[in-house]
């Protein structure tokens, strides 16, 4: 008798949540940054990020890092 392969159903694997969390979690501790901006600016930013297939967080982090390089006394 041959064994029929079992298909893993979402949520039925004990290690699934742990694996998904490991993928999503950044390697460094993080802080949440909230800010207010004009609605139209946010919309343009979001649409441009989507069209360039980049996430908004990585763009903001890059902008902040560049700003710090330019504005930090050395």
Domain residue ranges of the chain, discontinuous segments joined by + = 32-73
The CATH number given to 32-73 is 1.10.1220.10
Give how far Cα 60 sits from Cα of 16, 57, 67, 72, Å.
30, 5, 10, 18
**Is this model's pTM higher than 0.85 or not?**
no
Euclidean distance between CA atoms 43 and 50, whole angstroms? 11
Alpha-carbon dihedral angle through residues 53, 57, 58, 64, given to the nearest 10 degrees:
140
What is the pLDDT, as a whole number, of residue 71?
A: 96
pLDDT digits (tens, 9 = 90+) for 13-67: 666 666 666 676 667 888 999 999 999 999 999 999 999 999 999 999 999 999 9
pLDDT digits (tens, 9 = 90+) for 4-28: 666 656 555 666 666 666 676 667 8
What is the pLDDT, as a whole number, of residue 27?
A: 77
* First-last CA distance in the chain: 73
Euclidean distance between CA atoms 69 and 47, whole angstroms? 27
């Amino acid at each position: 008798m041959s064994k029929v392969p079992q298909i893993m159903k979402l949520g039925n694997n004990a290690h699934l949540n742990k694996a998904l969390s490991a993928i999503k979690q950044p390697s460094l501790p993080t802080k949440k940054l909230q800010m207010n901006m004009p609605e139209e600016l946010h919309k343009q930013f979001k649409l441009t990020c989507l069209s360039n297939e980049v996430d908004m967080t990585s763009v903001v982090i890059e902008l902040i890092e560049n700003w710090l390089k330019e504005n930090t006394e050395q």
